[in-house]
A = this chain, B = another copy of it.
Amino acid sequence: MSTRPLDGTIVLDLTTALAGPYATLLLAGLGARVIKIENPLTGGDSSRGNSPYVTREGLRLRRLDEVDMSLSMMLRGRGKESLTINLRTDEGRALLKELAAHADVLVENYSAGVTERLGIDHPRLRETNPRLVYTSISGFGAQGLPEGGGKAMDTIIQALSGLMMTAGQPDDPPVRLGVPVGDLVAPLFAVIGTLAAVLQARTTGHGQHVDVSMLGALTSLVAAEPFDALESVGIPLRTGPLVPRLAPFGTFESKNGWIALCAPTDALAASVLRAVGREDLLTEDRFATRDARVANADALHAIIGDWIRSRTNEEALSGLVAGGVPAAPVRSTAEAVRDPLLLTRGEVVPLSHPEYGEVADVYGSGIPFRLSGSDTTLDRPAPALSQDTERVLKEFLDYDARTVDELRRSGVI
């Protein structure tokens, strides 16, 4: 087995649902040993109870057997070990602290303030392990909810970030994106912050608290383009499928689907006109310069739209792409995740059930970068609840079988 960037790094994973588990999934892909700590009373991570489930007979809305596993857990639990601890007990919290003394990183996504109340926040755990990197993902940051603000969920974060008003037309309702970017962007920044803090800890010997807000993370991406400043100088944001100021530019309906096309420069616009058989327009005043094309965007888009509408995606694209125009089909998620190139690169991977293997035709996120000197495959399926409890407690704390048994009987693990 090749070396991995986080080989030998121990991560305690106190996360549930999506944002936190996605962060620790990426750390597992980088080679960290991720020990997922789940609540024994509630059935563990809430994702274990998300319908649908992978059963021996494929995907079903309800479990047919105890070993059936939710698709969410199959996806997010890969490469992790499962240990149960009841953190509402004094013994459970003491156990967590003992484990934290052996860890390099802890990741949690409780609501702000919960780890303090439980007595397992960064200041407390740092006492026994000063080099611990302690990463928190919460809705609005470690300081808690804003005045008059409600709880965070993906849709709430999308609404507050401004993202919903960057799609559609001016009079359209806000556009809720199905991809839960409110949940998914924060963990990317959490991993960046965690890796940075691990680097620093290796130099200084001191860990630190990495505090990530879902709203801050997504809004910082929205702020990567200064949309309101652009609008103030007449560059509108909500222009729907077409973008007049870059014409020809946007998505167009064909006989059997939609294609996207981007030709904001003179050279690309000329290629488009040649591809649609209208070389004659190249020298026409209405379309000869970028300013002219922007002024006559509707006419230009109508000409191109008519040509595409009478062709299939394949017919339209072969001409455009041959001419060097950036153009592509608009794909469904089902098509996108089965793209052979992405499967080869491991950016998307087929998911397998720990017992049934690849029984359902389901795909999930891989690690979307390739390291020439290292492997980032997530090939260990998600764990059953508590499957590693005994082994982990033996290995880290030298607990014998009797002690583990007592802890289990008394509801600590």
Contact = CB atoms under 8 A, between A and B. Distances in A.
Interface of A: 3-6, 18, 22, 26, 30, 51-52, 59-61, 71, 75, 122, 140-142, 146, 148-153, 155-156, 158-168, 173-181, 184-185, 188-193, 195-200, 202-204, 206-213, 215-217, 219-235, 237-238, 240-241, 243, 249-251, 253, 258-260, 262, 317-318, 320-321, 324-337, 339, 341-342, 345, 347-348, 351, 360-374
Contacts of A221: 179, 181, 184, 365
Contact of A227 (B30, B232, B238, B334): B334
A45 to B, nearest CB: 15
B179 A371 contact: no
A179 B366 CA distance: 23
Nearest to A18: B224
A196 B195 contact: yes
B327 A60 contact: no
A235 B318 CA distance: 35
B200 A198 contact: no
Contact of A366 (B146, B220, B324, B341): B220
A181 B52 CA distance: 28
A233 B192 CA distance: 36
A327 B150 contact: yes
B173 A339 contact: no
B153 A364 contact: no
B189 A226 contact: no
Given A188-B189, A216-B347, A223-B337, A332 B165 contact: yes
Contacts of A234: 61
A226 B368 contact: no
Contacts of A207: 373
B226 A362 contact: yes
Nearest to A346: B216
